[in-house]
């Protein structure tokens, strides 16, 4: 399991959920990991797990909606590991509300964390990845980036933007040997999903049972999404760019 040996990966939102699972899997595959997050305690736990198993990892505090933080995160991984090969834009938040129920500040925050962050991290990462001879960017969108969802206006808008930003970057940066792809997960058992239940006034147990009502009959796991990211980061997908990979147990199939 050394498919990413010699590679370095910057992972936003790496302290929990999909980002954490991706950091652990990529480290097991030989990559050196930088976790960009605001949760220092949880990020440090992931770093300890990776280094305790012989891997290389460090944590850089980062508000992904701030340009200075994003630029610093990219600079630190290049300083630590000498190069940047993979960027995983996994940080995200959700506000479960219709347009009429959403405050302007809430709208701005969801768009900043979910969409602006992809722009900012990519803006600073692309020159570094190009200098390394090329690499990959993987953006985590959502099934609700492809179809609408009730009481999730700001989230759907942000994730739909991620899908088309992915395609635009894939066209612009293919000459630099940078592949840019997007994963659209279905409901995945993460802290954010459980927070959705609380926002809607539902129990986590009932919410997860409802989320499992899809053709494969179960909810997704962070590891399901991490394995899809591993495919897009590795040589097996060397002719894949500008695509949207839906990983949702068949939820959008019909």
Q: Is 187 left (phi over 0), alpha (psi -120 to 50) or beta?
A: beta
Distance CA 251, CA 195 (A): 21
| 199 falls within a domain | no
CA 217-88-118 angle, to 5 degrees, is 105
| 196 falls within a domain | no
pLDDT at 55: 98
Q: What is the CATH number of the domain that holds 122?
A: 3.40.50.720
| 132 falls within a domain | yes
pTM to 2 decimal places: 0.97
Mind listing the pLDDT tens digit of every residue in the chain (254 residues)? 579 999 999 999 999 999 999 999 999 999 999 999 999 999 999 999 999 999 999 999 999 999 999 999 999 999 999 999 999 999 999 999 999 999 999 999 999 999 999 999 999 999 999 999 999 999 999 999 999 999 999 999 999 999 999 999 999 999 999 999 999 999 999 999 999 999 999 999 999 999 999 999 999 999 999 999 999 999 999 999 999 999 999 999 98
Domain total for the chain?
A: 1
pLDDT at 101: 97
pLDDT at 254: 84
Q: What is the CA radius of gyration of the chain?
A: 17
Classify residue 31 by its DSSP letter.
-
Distance CA 123, CA 52 (A): 32
| 197 falls within a domain | no
- Catalytic residue IDs: 155
pLDDT at 1: 59
| 38 falls within a domain | yes
| Residue 168, burial from CB neighbour count under 10 angstroms (0-12, 13-18, 19+) | exposed
Cβ atoms 87, 62 nearer than 8 A: no
| 208 falls within a domain | no
H or E element: which one contains 35? strand 32-37
Q: Tell me which residue range forms the domain holding 64.
A: 8-188+221-245
Cβ atoms 192, 19 nearer than 8 A: no
């Amino acid at each position: 399991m050394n498919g990413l040996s010699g590679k370095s990966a910057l992972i936003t939102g790496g302290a929990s959920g999909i980002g954490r699972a991706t950091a652990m899997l990529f480290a097991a595959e030989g990559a050196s990991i930088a976790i960009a997050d605001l949760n220092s305690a949880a990020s440090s736990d992931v770093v300890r797990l990776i280094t305790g198993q012989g891997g290389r990892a460090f944590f850089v505090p980062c508000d992904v909606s701030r340009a200075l933080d994003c630029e610093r995160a990219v600079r630190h991984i290049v300083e630590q590991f000498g190069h940047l090969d993979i960027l995983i834009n996994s940080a995200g938040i959700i506000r479960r509300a219709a347009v009429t129920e959403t405050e302007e500040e809430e709208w701005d925050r969801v768009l900043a964390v979910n969409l602006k962050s992809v722009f900012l991290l990519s803006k600073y990462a692309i020159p570094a990845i190009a200098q390394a001879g090329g690499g990959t960017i993987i953006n985590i969108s959502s099934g609700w980036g492809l179809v609408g969802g009730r009481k999730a206006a700001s989230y759907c808008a942000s994730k739909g933007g991620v899908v088309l930003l992915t395609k635009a970057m894939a066209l612009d940066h293919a000459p630099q040997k940078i592949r840019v792809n997007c994963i659209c997960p279905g409901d995945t058992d993460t802290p954010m999903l459980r927070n959705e239940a609380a926002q809607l006034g539902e129990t986590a147990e009932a919410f997860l049972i409802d989320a499992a009502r899809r053709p494969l009959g179960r909810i997704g796991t962070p590891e399901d999404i991490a394995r899809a990211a591993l495919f897009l980061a590795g040589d097996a997908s060397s002719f894949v760019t500008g695509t949207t990979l839906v990983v949702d147990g068949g939820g959008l199939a019909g």
